[in-house]
Amino acid sequence: MRAKQFIEEKIRAFDGPLTEELLRDPGKFGLGQLPRTMEPDATTSVVCGYCSTGCSLNVHLKDGQAINLSPDPDYPVNLGMACPKGWESLTPLAADDRGTSPLYRASSDDALEPIEWKDAAQTFCDRMRTVQREHGPESIAFLSTGQICTEEMALLGAFAKFEMGMIHGDGNTRQCMATAVTAYKESFGFDAPPFSYQDFEESDVIVLIGSNLCIAHPILWQRVLRNENNPEIIVIDPRKTETAMQATQHVALRPKSDLTFLYGIAQLLVENDWLDSDFIEAHTSGFEDFKEHIASFTAERVSQESDVPLSELKGLAQKIGEGKRVSLWWTMGVNQSYEATRTAQAIINIALMTGNIGKPGTGANSITGQCNAMGSRLFSNTTSLLGGHDFLNAQHREKVAEVLEIDPAKIPDQRSWAYDQIVDGIETGKIKALWIVATNGAHSWAHQNRFRKLLSKLDFLVVQDIYPTTETAELADLFLPAAGWGEKDGTLINSERRIGLVKRVSRSPGEALADFSIFRYLASTWGAGPWLAKWKTPEDAFQILKKLSKDQPCDIRGIKDYREIDEAGGIQWPLAESSSSIETHRHLFADGTFYTDDGRARFIYDDPQPNPEPPDEAYPFCLLTGRGSSAQWHTESRTGKSEILKKLHPKESYAEINPDDARALGIKSADRITVISRRGSLELKALVTATVKAGQVFIPMHNPKVNRLTLSSFDPVSRQPNYKACGVKIAKC
C-alpha cells in the first residue's frame, strides 16, 4: 500500500465528527502522519514510553498497524535488551477502558457523559474563562508530566502560560526529579546530568545511593553487568533490595541519615588525603569552607548517627578514595527527602573533591525516572522558561518571545508555584480550576485524603489521560481522551540526555487524539494568536525547540530533524550547530569547565536537619515506599492492563515487615494487617522478611492507597515530596 493511500485510509477509519476536517488538513491534528522512514509493512524503531532508560523497541507493522515488537539490537542504550514493561508496551493501548471520546459532567451530581470534541473544546475554553473572570487570570493552573513528548509539553506550556495567562503550572516531575534539578543548577550552573550509560561499563567503583537499579532501571543494571573491570558495586539503601543483594557492599544506613553519612565519607577523604587537589584548585569554588563544615563529621559520630559500622564506613571511603574511576549514582532514596537537595549536593561534592567528573566511568549522576522527565525539565515551561531559561530574566523572556513570535509581555515575569503550592492554593481558594495532563495525582501525590478532598473543591477539573478510569480522571468534570505512546510522533529525552524518537505505529481508539493535537485544538478554539500556526506538527515544534536552545548548555541546533535522530540511534544534548559529527556516547565537563559564571563547580552544603516525622512511641515504625517490581509502573493504569505483567509480581499488595517486629506483634506472612499513620490507614497483607530492618516497613508505591499514609513534607529548595519516611503503626486485622 502506498504511504499516501495508507494515511487516507487511516483517517477514514477515524469515525469521529472531525473526519472531513482531518482529511482536508491532517497535520492540524497531528493525525495521519507517518514518519518519513516508515512504510506500512515495515519494522520501525520507537523509543520506549515508560522509564527514562530510553530503550529502543523495533515495532513490527502489518498494514500500518503495530502487531508485535522486539528490542532494538543496534540502539546504543539497550543493545537488544528490554524489560518486561517494554516487551508489553503495546498491550495497554488495546485495553478496553481506553478513553474514546471526551466526557463531561454537567453538574456535580451527574455522571461523566460522552460529548463531541468541538463541545468539549468550547466547554474547556468557556469554563476556564469564567473562572478567570470571576477569580483572576491566576486562578487556573495546570499539572503536567514527564510522560508525554517534549513537543507536546512545550506546546502545553506555551499555550497555558503565554495564551491563557496562567502563571502556575507544574508537573509530576516535581515528585521525581526536582531535587536533581536544583542540585545541579546550584552546583554546576545548569541542570546538566553529566553522564553516559557507557560510564556504568567503564567504572571500577559504582556507588548507588537510594537507587534500586535492578527493579527501576533493569536495563541499566544489565549495563553494569557488562562492566569488565570487576567493579566494586556499593548500594546505599536502608533496605536489602534486589540491587543490594547483588552488590559487593550493602550499606544499610538509617533512613534519612544520608547527608550525615556522606559528610562523614567526605571527612574521611580529607583525613586520608584521598583528594584531587589539582582539580579542586583549577575547577571548583568553596572547598576550604566545605572542609571546615565537615570537620565535625567524625567517623565515630557518623557511624553512630547512621547506624553504619565504623569499618564499613571507612572501607567505603577507601574504595572511593583509591578507586580510579568512581561513579556515584542516585535516585529517589535521595531526591525524595526533606533535605534532598543538600544530600544530592553532598554526592556531587564527593565527585568534585576526588576529581571523579568529566572522565569515562565517573560522575555525580542522577538517574532520571520517567521516559521524558528530562524533556520536561528543559521544555515544559513549568519551573524554568522554555529551553532551560529563567522567567525572572528579562533577556530570556525577550529571547523566547522572539523565537515564538509573541509579545514578551505575555511571558510571566515570575516563577510558577510548585505542585504543593498549587495544592495549597486550592485550599486557600486561590486556585479554582486545574488541568491535569498525564499524571494520576489522586494516587501518587502525598497525603492523599487531603489531596482528593481538595480536588473536589475545585470549580472545574479537567483531566487529560488515555484512560477515564484512573483515580484522578474519575474525579474530573471534563475528561479529554489522549492517544498514548505508539499512537503519536515526537521526541523523548532519556537520563543520559539522549533525544529519541516516538512514532505513530498504532491507531488510537475512537476519537482519542495525540496530546499535541488536543493542545492545538484547544488553543485554536481559545483563539490563540498567529504563533500557533508555526506549531503545525510535532516536527515543526521540534524546529522551534532547537531555536529556543540557542546559547544554552542544552543547545540542540546541530540536530537536523527527526530522520537524523532516527538514523543516529538517538542524539545526546548538547549538539551545537557547528558540530561536525555525532558521537554515540558523550559525557559533559571533559574540560573541567562548568556552566556557572566563573566556570567553576561549587561546593554547597548545610547542616543536617531533623526528620520532620521520626518514628516515636505512638507511631513506632518508619514507612519506606518505592518501586515494587520491574513489571509495575507507578499507579498501574498501563501495566495493570497486561495479564503477562500481572503474573510477574504478587497478586495482592503487601507490606514488608522485619521478622523481629512480626514476632513481637504476633504477625505471620500473609496475615492481613492495617498500617496507620497520622493521616490515614490502609489494609494489606504482611510479608515477613529481613529485607527491612526492625523498625521499618516497606510498601510498594503501586498500592493505590499508599499515599494515604505519607505526609505533606518537602525539601525546602526543590519542593520535592518527602515520600520515603514517615511514622506509622501496625495492627493485626
Ligand X SMILES: Nc1nc2c(c(=O)[nH]1)N[C@H]1C(S)=C(S)[C@@H](COP(=O)(O)OP(=O)(O)OC[C@H]3O[C@@H](n4cnc5c(=O)[nH]c(N)nc54)[C@H](O)[C@@H]3O)O[C@H]1N2
DSSP lists the bridge partners of residue 141 as: 434
The amino acid sitting at 155 is: L
470, interface contact from ligand X, Mo ion, ligand SF4, none, CB < 5-8 Å by kind? ligand X
Grid look-up 463541545 returns 119
Q: Which residue is nearest to ligand SF4 (CB)?
A: 86
Whether residue 100 contacts residue 17, with contact meaning beta carbons closer than 8 Å, is answered with no
Residue 86 interacting partner from Mo ion, ligand X, ligand SF4, none (CB closer than 5 to 8 Å by kind) = ligand SF4
Point out which residues bind ligand X (CB under 6 A). 51, 147-148, 172, 175-176, 209-212, 215-217, 236-239, 241, 255-256, 258, 331-333, 336, 369-370, 437-441, 443-444, 464-467, 470, 482, 484-485, 515, 624-627, 630, 632-635, 637-638, 701, 706-707, 710, 723-724
Chain-centroid distance of CA 332 in Å reads 10
Which one, of 480, 448, 464, 525, lies nearest residue 708 by Cα? 448
CB of 701 to Mo ion, least distance (A): 9
- The Cα 709–Cα 674 span in angstroms is 11
Which of 29, 33, 35, 85 is in the footprint of ligand SF4 by CB under 6 A? 85
Q: Could you say whether residue 425 binds ligand SF4 (CB under 6 A)?
A: no
Q: Is 98 in the site for ligand SF4 (CB under 6 A)?
A: no
Does 375 contact ligand SF4 by CB under 6 A?
no
Nearest residue to 370 (alpha-carbon basis) of 158, 93, 634, 629: 634
Q: What is the DSSP string of 186-203?
A: HHHSS------THHHHH-
Asked if 712 and 446 touch (Cβ cutoff 8 Å), the reply is yes
Residue 74 or 598: the one with the smaller Cβ distance to ligand SF4 is 74
| Nearer of residues 276 and 471 to ligand X, judged by Cβ | 471
86 binds ligand SF4 (CB under 6 A): yes
- Closest CB to Mo ion among residues 217, 504: 217
Kindly write out the interface string for residues 28-57 of this chain, putting x where it contacts ligand SF4 by CB under 6 A and - elsewhere.
--------------------x-xx-xxx--
Task: Report the C-alpha gap between 297 and 534 in whole angstroms.
Answer: 56
645 binds ligand SF4 (CB under 6 A): no
Terminal CA-CA length for the chain? 62
CB of 177 to ligand X, least distance (A): 7
Among the residue ranges 172-180, 411-419, 596-604, 683-691, the one whose residues contact Mo ion (CB under 5 A)? 172-180
Q: What phi, psi does 572 have (nearest 5°)?
A: -80, 145
- The smaller minimum CB distance to ligand X, of residues 576 and 690, is found at 690
Q: Does 476 bind ligand SF4 (CB under 6 A)?
A: no
Least Cβ distance, residue 720 to ligand X (angstroms): 9
| Amino acid at the residue 468 | P
List the single partner that 55 binds among ligand SF4, Mo ion, ligand X, none, CB under 5 to 8 Å by kind: ligand SF4
Radius of gyration of the chain (CA): 25
* Residue choice 102, 369, 441, 608 for contact with Mo ion (CB under 5 A): 369
- Reported as half-sphere exposure (CB side, CA atoms, 13 A), residue 282 has a value of 10
- Contact assessment for residue 452 and residue 472, using Cβ atoms and an 8 Å cutoff: no
Query: Which residues touch 296 (CB under 8 Å, ≥6 apart)?
Result: none
Q: Is the dihedral of CA 243, 247, 252, 257 positive or negative?
A: negative
Q: Residue 271, exposed/middle/buried by CB under 10 A (0-12, 13-18, 19+)?
A: middle
Q: What are the φ and ψ backbone dihedral angles of 618, each rounded to 5 degrees?
A: -75, -40
- Smallest distance, Å, CB 218 to ligand SF4? 5
Size of the site for Mo ion (CB under 5 A): 2
Pairing verdict, β 103-104 and 113-114: antiparallel
Q: Which is nearer to ligand SF4, 492 or 682 (by Cβ)?
A: 492
Least gap, CB of 329 to ligand X (angstroms) = 9
219 binds, among Mo ion, ligand X, ligand SF4, none (CB under 5 to 8 A by kind): ligand SF4
For ligand SF4, the closer of residues 48 and 688 by Cβ is: 48
Q: For residues 89 and 123, which CB has a smaller minimum distance to ligand SF4 in the complex?
A: 89
What one-character-per-residue DSSP string does 597-641 give? TTS-EE---------SS---SSS-EEEEEE---TT--TT-TTGGG
406 near ligand SF4, rule: CB under 6 A: no
3-state secondary structure of 93: helix
194 is an interface residue for Mo ion by CB under 5 A: no
- C-alpha 655/C-alpha 691 separation (Å) is 11
Smallest separation (angstroms) from ligand X to the CB of 682: 12
CB of 86 to ligand SF4, least distance (A): 2
Binding site for ligand SF4 (CB under 6 A): 48, 50-51, 53-55, 78, 82-83, 85-86, 218-219
Binding site for Mo ion (CB under 5 A): 176, 369
